[in-house]
């Protein structure tokens, strides 16, 4: 990896995964249907990632939104096999904490740096839920 950057945080779910970053600035709703369970695509009209799939991505989620059923959305896509391979959540709350557990993928939270100012969609990330760190490799320009 060239131009690698490391962001420290706290592991929220153990394991290590590598993949492309997908930044979700608007989060997803905790009500209704947030994802298409056939494709993993965000199914909320008006969401900046509407129609884009989280399947196989490192999802960088800017917090939670909506009801306590928020984690149910992530459980549905995990069971369907179209969920993200890792999660990065800058600041954990009760809803995103449950998402880390039900998703069963490596997760890092409570970051020491603003990941949204460093990472772009498509950057390659190595999420280490054991060590609580994220290794970022910028995609070539």
Surface-to-core class of residue 5, CB atoms within 10 Å of its CB (0-12 exposed, 13-18 middle, 19+ buried)? middle
CA 120, CA 74: separation in Å to the nearest integer?
A: 22
pLDDT, tens digit only, all 141 positions of the chain: 456 899 999 999 999 999 999 999 988 887 777 899 999 999 988 889 999 999 999 999 998 887 778 899 999 999 999 999 999 999 999 999 999 999 999 999 999 999 999 999 999 999 999 999 999 987 655
Q: Which domains does the chain have, with CATH numbers?
A: 4-137 (3.50.30.10)
> What strands lie across the sheet with 4-8, from one edge to the other?
4-8, 133-137, 124-128, 16-24, 58-61, 86-89, 107-109, 10-13
């Amino acid at each position: 990896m060239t131009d690698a950057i490391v962001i420290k945080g706290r592991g929220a779910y153990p394991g290590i995964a590598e993949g492309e970053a997908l930044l979700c600035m608007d989060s997803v709703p905790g009500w209704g249907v947030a994802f298409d369970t056939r494709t993993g695509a965000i199914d909320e009209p008006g969401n900046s990632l509407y129609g884009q799939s989280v399947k196989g991505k490192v999802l960088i989620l800017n917090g939670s939104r909506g009801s306590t059923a928020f984690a149910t959305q992530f459980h549905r896509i995990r069971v369907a096999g179209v969920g993200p391979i890792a999660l990065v959540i800058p600041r954990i709350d009760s809803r995103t904490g449950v998402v880390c557990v039900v998703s069963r993928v490596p997760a890092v939270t409570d970051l020491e740096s603003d990941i949204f100012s460093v990472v772009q969609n498509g950057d390659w990330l190595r999420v280490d839920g054991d060590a609580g760190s994220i290794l970022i490799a910028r995609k070539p320009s």
